[in-house]
Amino acid sequence: MSLCFTDEQFQDAWRELDEPQLDGGWEFFTETMGVKIYRLFDKETGLYEYKVFGILSSCDPELCTEVYMDLAYRKQWDGYVKELYEKDYDGQTVIYWEVKYPFPLSNRDYVYMRERRLLEPEGRRIWVVLAQSSSVPQCPEKSGILRVKDYKQSLAMESDGACGTKVFMNYFDNPGGSIPTWLINWAAKSGVPAFLTDMQKACKNYPEYCKKSKK
């Protein structure tokens, strides 16, 4: 079934691979591992939205996309995952994801929709994945876990012309609760490089994982 994403949203995501849209208050935040991160202050929440541009040098875009979409595999390589699954509710497929937070912070969980498309503008091959938080009555909030109700992410990937992947990612989430701003900023600055490192390692190990999981 079709989700809540429009053709225009998919087009907007891949176009940033060619022309980053950084007007309107976006500021340079940090650069690491060949990846530049920009941020935009959100007055309503006091938090930042982020845009990430760069190259993943050791895996091709199709493999990156497969690894990114494979929830069962994500549980193998992402140490922050407490629970993660996809489920169909009344014809609507949603993902439930509980993320481990360090003590004394409460874990967070997400309920969101996700859609992937392969776009081929002018013969190019660009994989785009969009995700957005959703409210599903069958997934009520759990005691002791804070529900992240404001989450969005867009991801566009294509070949860098060699053996790697050119990446654009835009994301925002409001973790809720009383997390100090400095901690959120630190997590953004250190979390993205750590995730990219884990992701590239996961891509390298994916063929072996697929072999074992089919046995």
Cis peptide upstream of residue 121 (ω within 30 degrees of 0): no
Percent of residues, the chain, with pLDDT higher than 90? 67
pTM reported for the whole predicted model:
0.91
Indicate whether 2 belongs to any domain: no
Query: Which domain, by its residues, includes 134?
Result: 7-213
* Percent of the chain with pLDDT strictly greater than 70: 98
Residue 45 has pLDDT above 50, yes or no: yes
Q: Is 14 contained in some domain?
A: yes
In a domain, residue 201? The reply is yes
Tens digits of residue pLDDT in 107-166:
999 999 999 999 999 999 999 999 999 988 889 999 999 999 999 999 999 999 888 999
pLDDT in tens, 79-101: 999 999 999 887 788 999 999 98
Q: Tokens 């990846």 appear where?
A: 35
Tokens of 196: 């990219």
Residue 22 placed within a domain:
yes
Within a domain: 202: yes
Q: Please indicate, yes or no, if residue 72 is contained in any of the structural domains.
A: yes
Assigned domain for 66 exists: yes
* pLDDT tens readout for residues 3-26: 579 999 999 999 999 999 999 999
If pLDDT is split at 50, 70 and 90, which confidence band does 102 have?
Answer: confident
Question: What are the backbone angles phi and psi of residue 97, rounded to the nearest 5°?
Answer: -140, 115
pLDDT tens for 192-201 read: 778 888 988 9
Does a structural domain hold residue 1? no
> Do residues 66 and 111 lie in contact, with contact meaning Cβ atoms separated by under 8 Å?
no
* DSSP annotation string for 102-148: -TTSPPEEEEEEEEEEEE-GGG--EEEEEEEE---TTS---TT-EEE
Average pLDDT score over the chain: 90
Quick one: pLDDT at residue 215? 59
Number of domains in the chain: 1
CATH of the domain at 11: 3.30.530.20
Give the number of other CB atoms < 10 A from CB of residue 143. 4
Average the pLDDT over 54-68 and give the result: 92
